[in-house]
Structure 1
Amino acid sequence: MSEYTKDRARDRIARLAGQGLDLVTFWHESSEAVATAVPHYLTPCWFTLDPVSLLATSHYQNGLPEIPSEWLAHEYFEDDFHKMADVARSERGISTLHEATGGDPSRSRAWNLYMRPYGAEQEVLVALRTPAGEAWGMLGLYRAPGEPQFDDDELGFLQGVSTHLAEGAQRGLLVGEASDPEEPNAPGLVVLNDDWSVDSLTPGVERWLAELPDGDWEARGKLPPSVLAVAGRALRTAENEDAPGDIALARVLSREGRWMVLHGAALVAGGGGASRSSSSPPI
């Protein structure tokens, strides 16, 4: 694959990650970009992970509505050579089944039960980790018998875009939950313009703004300082991509005495900062 093709795919994934897409749309669009740089069998397998426990929390694969329940039971109960949690904890954050099995994938029970019957010979797993090291997802790519093994250039490309994929997944989860909340305590989304004025709010976010200290949104339209601080950090990090970024996250003790977590991310489409606020259990 030419460097030009890989550069275009890399740039497209970076742009997608900053657009605040819902998770399914982000996975779908990213699948097309990945395929141009790293050819593979069928379609990519995307997972979101709980960054603390590294348990899979959702799965998306175009053409496969759901994975067999026994596959996840095997992933987290039985010993095997190529586990998502192991890859997520590893220094490289990427691994092939051939590497893990010493070149003999038939040693893997998962390969015999869940890959070979579907026509897959090879597997590469890529941890989707943020610059802070949190694993928010996992990407699995496969190749059929007779196809070349994933080479160093392809693995390097996947490592290079993994941070963008992690950021897009994290934003997709937050945007999706804020835009279509399933419970009263769902996160809220605040989108800011370049001049730090409010562009839009998701329904119910006023409740969280009222709880944050030193703000007065309902009476005077004054945002809490913590929201502006997180948005400023997010925009600065986005505008300095070549420098190590600080984490745009704050834990704030609310007026009600509970801890709230603020996440910040810059949205490319609007050019400004976006601050997401959500409640969390006391820490």
Structure 2
Amino acid sequence: PQDYYGEFNVPGPTLPVIAVPTTAGTGSEVTPVAVISDPDRTLKVGISSPHLIAAVALCDPDLTATCPPSLTAIAGADALTHAIEAFTAARRGDDPRLPQQHVFVGKSALTDHFALLAIRLLGSSLEKAYRDGSDGNARADVMMGALAAGCAFGTAGTAAAHAVQYPVGAVTHTAHGLGVATMLPYVMSYNLPAAAAEIAEVGAALGLSRQSGDGADASAHATIREVSRLFAAIGIPPNLANLGLPEDRIDWTAEQALGIDRLIKNNPRPFDLAAMRRLVRAAYDGDMSATMM
């Protein structure tokens, strides 16, 4: 598989794939991405190609009925992170060559539709599915939410929360969904100067009423608090220290995350190494305010 790491390195169509997900989270049944755990590189590595998109996706929420609460939470938190990162992803303009140059081409009206659908479904039903796995309606909403989030990020892309998870997961040996969800509120806070209006729209999709205050900022801050509350309610760690990241790996984590260009270039607020170090340190300390420097 190392022959195909990166973007556009799959040389042609594969045999047709029929994808039947048994968890509601990754959305990989509708995305152009496969993620490989490579022991030689320590980190997980992505293979991104339109040739990887499945021919058929059969999404039956009954197949998730026996997922334990922890797996329901981890997968669902991954799906919500997909949707929020896709909705707040950078726009790439209208260059017609974009689809030949990037697998992820940035947000659009269509990806926004799928992302907001996912956020509404997951916001209303993820905690219910976590608390009562026999709730068929909640299971159906969460599976549809994961599918819709896959349709969103498969085009728009994910961003910094996913980039940081790769090295964090390699060090802590924790599940992907735990890492991206732990990072998401901090990344949303970091992105406030560039995406406050979009983050406020995420809050509306989660069912929050519009906050009075300075433009979209008050609603955006309320949205981040609600995402943190939801994740805490389903057992997501509040910071990277609780996830198990050693303090002496903060700088290494930042350096590795910054190097995952296919994700970092989607973030609405740019990064340099100093900014990434501040973000990872803030997420380690649990200090949301430090992300906005």
Q: Give the TM-score normalised by structure 1.
A: 0.25
Please identify which structure carries the higher helix content.
Answer: 2
Please say which structure displays the higher CA radius of gyration. 1
Larger proportion of strand: 1
